[in-house]
Amino acid sequence: MPYTTDNIPARESSSWTASLRASMLSNLRLSFLSLVVLFTVACADEPEPDVSGRAGYEATKAPADGHTDDEDAHEDESGRITLSESALITAGIAVEPVSIGTASEQAASDLVVPGPVAHDPARLAVISSRIPGRLERLLAVARYRVGAAQVHALLYSSTYLTAQSDLQQAVRRAERLTGTEDETGARALADAARRRLRLLGVGADESECLEQGGEPRSYLAITAPFSGSIIESGALAGEAVETGQAIFRLADLSQVDVVAEVPERALPLVRVGQQATISLAAYPDDRFDGIVERLHDELNPETRTVRAVIHADNPARRLRPGMFATVALKVSAEAVRGAGAADAQAGRILTIPQSAVVTEGERRFVFVPVGPRSFERREVQVISLAPPGSPAPTSTRLAVRSGLAAGDSVVVSGAFILKSELAKGSLGEHGH
């Protein structure tokens, strides 16, 4: 009979299966222990690695300063940086010696501030009717230019007609009473009638014509008090107007005001009567001369500026109200010194271009060449030569208070790139 599990009783079959599993687990444990022993022996036979050799290799590949010999820039702990030939050309490095001169030679002479063009209030007028009536005709409209005494409106008024008739009657009565005791009273009445017409705006020629028997006029002529431009029209033809009602607003643009916004810090540099030069974007090649006429007493709390009103001649009417102008106020050396600007220092001073200075928080640095393609970062103290408070200084140079000496040179182009390379070196050191 074949030997199978079917021939084994159930109890004996279960015991046989358990024995087989236990045998297989024992064999697996022996195999695993053999592998562990073999691996341990193999590791013990392997030679110990050359630690010093590996460290030298890593130092060659990655020096402590984070740069290799063939990189474009190298920076050491002294704040110096060296560029390769190609990096020097790419960066566009330019070096310039520190300038030496007197403060008066270097300091800016102008305080440059913005300011809009505005009408001169003394050259504005409201043209109105002196008596009630009805506008029969308008002979001018807004934006028209009119001459002095030019008629630009005709007004119908019963008051005007009555005043003309009263003058003619008073003159005729005075003539009849000449040589009598009532002559004085009659002539006084005639004079009163003449004054009334003058108050209505009637000229002496028209009054004389009425006295000589001329026909009274139907309409009162409203004229311009001076030559100028009508900037606003406040009534229409056929409209009834009251005494004092504005019909036109007239502006004389032969002289205008430019309202310069002077920073609070620059107020000591500005005074009444100061010379100013005005320029416009519309006419970049033209300059307009003016004089500071008055300073506002109040400070604008939003812009922290005080308005200086500059009076300027405008014969060609190029200065148009509403234009944006740039004002250069002439500042004397005494005023700048009194305001505490850099040129208050007596004697000779050192100056460098603004492009040579790089910032790091509140600190200022320049780069000084110390060898072939090598530059050293040096902290300096500088101050602007422009008048204090000028938002658009005409001077692009800074006075050096400390950090540089006569004979030194500074990088005037490419200083920002050198600063970036130093920042890269600093990050590399922190990485290690």
Per-residue pLDDT reduced to its tens digit, 397-406:
788 888 999 8
- C-alpha distances out from residue 343 to 7, 107, 238, 402, 428, Å: 121, 6, 68, 15, 43
> What pLDDT does residue 65 have?
41
Would you say 251 and 229 are in contact if contact means Cβ atoms under 8 Å apart?
A: yes
Would you say 183 and 177 are in contact if contact means Cβ atoms under 8 Å apart?
A: yes
Indicate if 220 and 138 belong to the same structural domain. yes
Tokens of 414: 């490419």
> What pLDDT does residue 167 have?
93
Would you say 77 and 282 are in contact if contact means Cβ atoms under 8 Å apart?
A: no
User: CATH number, domain at 286?
Assistant: 2.40.30.170
Assign residue 407 a region (left: φ > 0; alpha: ψ between -120 and 50; beta: otherwise).
left
Indicate if 139 and 215 belong to the same structural domain. yes
Is residue 355 included in any domain, yes or no?
Answer: yes
Indicate if 128 and 247 belong to the same structural domain. yes
Tokens of 172: 């005729």
Indicate if 204 and 313 belong to the same structural domain. no
> Model confidence over 286-332: pLDDT tens digits?
999 999 999 999 999 998 999 999 999 998 999 999 999 999 988 76
> Model confidence over 340-398: pLDDT tens digits?
444 444 456 788 988 899 988 889 999 999 988 899 999 998 877 666 555 544 456 78
Would you say 319 and 312 are in contact if contact means Cβ atoms under 8 Å apart?
A: yes
Cα 189 to Cα 287: distance, rounded to the nearest angstrom: 58
Cα 222 to Cα 234: distance, rounded to the nearest angstrom: 14
> What number is the average pLDDT over the span 408-424?
86
Amino acid in the structure at residue 164 = Q
Indicate if 265 and 243 belong to the same structural domain. no
Answer yes or no: is pLDDT of 173 > 50.
yes
Identify how many contiguous H helices and E strands the chain contains and give both numbers. Answer: 9, 24
Burial of residue 151 (CB within 10 Å: 0-12, 13-18, 19+) is middle
Looking at residue 282, the DSSP 8-state letter turns out to be S
Indicate if 234 and 149 belong to the same structural domain. yes
Indicate if 350 and 370 belong to the same structural domain. yes
Is residue 158 included in any domain, yes or no?
Answer: yes
Q: Which of 251, 283, 308 is the last residue of a domain?
A: 251
Q: Which of 216, 251, 286 is the last residue of a domain?
A: 251
Indicate if 131 and 187 belong to the same structural domain. yes
> Model confidence over 63-82: pLDDT tens digits?
334 444 445 555 555 578 88
Is residue 190 included in any domain, yes or no?
Answer: yes
- State the average pLDDT for the chain: 78
Cα Rg, the chain, nearest whole Å: 48
Is residue 65 included in any domain, yes or no?
Answer: no
Tokens of 405: 């000496």
Contacts of 56 (CB under 8 A, 6+ apart): none
pTM score: 0.54
Is residue 88 included in any domain, yes or no?
Answer: yes
Indicate if 268 and 325 belong to the same structural domain. yes
> What pLDDT does residue 231 have?
92
Please calculate the CA angle 19-21-25 and round it to the nearest 5 degrees. Answer: 120
> What pLDDT does residue 390 have?
57
Cα 305 to Cα 262: distance, rounded to the nearest angstrom: 5
> What number is the average pLDDT over the span 184-189?
92
> What pLDDT does residue 68 have?
41
The enclosing H or E element of 423 equals helix 415-431
Alpha helices, H only, 124-226: 158-176, 183-199, 204-211
Tokens of 270: 């500005």
Indicate if 370 and 325 belong to the same structural domain. no
Would you say 293 and 135 are in contact if contact means Cβ atoms under 8 Å apart?
A: no
| Residue 206 CA to its chain's centroid (Å) | 57
Is residue 303 included in any domain, yes or no?
Answer: yes
Is residue 57 included in any domain, yes or no?
Answer: no
> What pLDDT does residue 324 have?
94
Is residue 66 included in any domain, yes or no?
Answer: no
Q: Which of 295, 330, 365 is the last residue of a domain?
A: 330
Would you say 225 and 239 are in contact if contact means Cβ atoms under 8 Å apart?
A: no
> What pLDDT does residue 26 have?
59
Tokens of 224: 């311009």
Indicate if 184 and 158 belong to the same structural domain. yes
Give the structural domain span for 156.
124-251
> What pLDDT does residue 295 have?
94
Indicate if 274 and 324 belong to the same structural domain. yes
Amino acid in the structure at residue 183 = E
Would you say 311 and 290 are in contact if contact means Cβ atoms under 8 Å apart?
A: yes
> What pLDDT does residue 419 have?
85
> Model confidence over 11-55: pLDDT tens digits?
444 554 555 565 665 565 655 555 554 555 444 444 444 433 333
> What pLDDT does residue 351 have?
85
Number of independent structural domains in the chain? 4
> What pLDDT does residue 335 have?
54
- C-alpha distances out from residue 70 to 55, 74, 89, 416, 432, Å: 20, 9, 16, 22, 20
User: CATH number, domain at 385?
Assistant: 2.40.420.20
Looking at residue 300, the DSSP 8-state letter turns out to be B
Cα 145 to Cα 234: distance, rounded to the nearest angstrom: 16
Q: In this predicted structure, which of 132-141, 261-270, 272-281 has the lowest mean pLDDT?
A: 261-270
